[in-house]
Amino acid sequence: MQKITFILVTALSLQLASCATTTADSTSGVKRSQFLMMPASSVDRMSAQAYAATLKEAEQKKTLNADKAMLARVRGISNRLIAQVAVFRPDAAQWKWEVNVEKNDALNAYCMPGGKIMVLSGLVEKINATDDELAAVIGHEIAHALREHGRERMSQAYLQQFGLQALAALASGSAVGGAAVQAVGAGSQLFFALPNGREQEREADKMGLELAARAGFNPNAAVTLWQKMDAQSKTAPPEFFSTHPANQNRIADLKVLMPKVMPLYEAAKKS
């Protein structure tokens, strides 16, 4: 009984201590308090393993970095964005960043916790993306990693699925029954299976826009990007039924922020 009480008290203490914001407040104004009870080291380890498995599978299918010109282009854009991440969190400049391209028709890209970026070739080819538009979407994905949205989703999922007891065991490094072990094993699957929430998507839009502007990419490209994406997704469900903001609402929000980030873009172009 004393052990259970100790675990629950520890869990509640960890829960209270786990509410924080992961990034510095900046022009984009993102500073929401987040629930981050899952240890960052555990999330980064799971993500690195999942990313390595993805690379291995793509290598076997001969779809990894097949287009050298596209790879050089994507890495050049990404490196300019990565050079600006310290504005939001200085430690991110020391992450072990990786940037790869997979030959795949899907319009998608992602940045896993710890800075593991993957761009699918369909995103570049199907919408004939400009460098500025690619910067908008890659910046958006980098923002997800900076805000640790994956860790936040996993913390919430573990709490719902396994309860405070197992989550406390994960956070404290101990083990409580099979639930904690099962929770660890589900990590990489949860990252890919759990969609970002609408607020997380809005945060990534805002921070990604600022990141692109600071890197010298035209922020207006975020609008044309989502207009192109909207044209590709006419069968998308209404916003109420989706975790992603509706494209038109997303574009409207970006336009509101545009006057704040344009000076950053102009300054970057002069430097």
d(C-alpha 127, C-alpha 72), whole Å: 19
Average pLDDT score over residue span 157-184: 54
Task: Give yes or no for residue 5 having a pLDDT over 50.
Answer: no
How many domains does the chain fold into? 1
Closest CA to 148 of 119, 172, 115: 115
Q: Count CB-CB contacts under 10 A for residue 160.
A: 9
Task: Give yes or no for residue 249 having a pLDDT over 80.
Answer: yes
pLDDT for position 21: 86
Average pLDDT score over residue span 117-127: 96
For residues 105 and 129, the answer to whether their CB atoms sit within 8 Å is no
Tokens representing 111 are 């940045």
C-alpha distances in Å from residue 53, one per residue of 46, 47, 49, 50, 183: 11, 10, 6, 5, 19
Average pLDDT score over residue span 107-115: 94
* Least confident piece of the model among 50-54, 137-141, 155-159, 220-224: 155-159
d(C-alpha 112, C-alpha 257), whole Å: 26
Mean pLDDT, the chain, as a whole number?
Answer: 83
Average pLDDT score over residue span 215-238: 85
Pick the residue with more confidence: 141 or 183? Answer: 141
pLDDT for position 153: 85
pLDDT for position 156: 79
Q: 57: domain range? A: 2-270
For residues 211 and 84, the answer to whether their CB atoms sit within 8 Å is yes
Average pLDDT score over residue span 257-271: 95
* Least confident piece of the model among 54-68, 90-104, 223-237: 223-237
For residues 145 and 109, the answer to whether their CB atoms sit within 8 Å is no
The pLDDT > 70 percentage for the chain reads 75
Pick the residue with more confidence: 254 or 6? Answer: 254
pLDDT for position 37: 81
Task: Give yes or no for residue 186 having a pLDDT over 60.
Answer: no
Tokens representing 243 are 């975790």
pTM above 0.85, yes or no: no
Task: Give yes or no for residue 172 having a pLDDT over 50.
Answer: yes
Active site residues: 141
Question: Strand 98-102 and strand 34-35: pairing?
Answer: unpaired
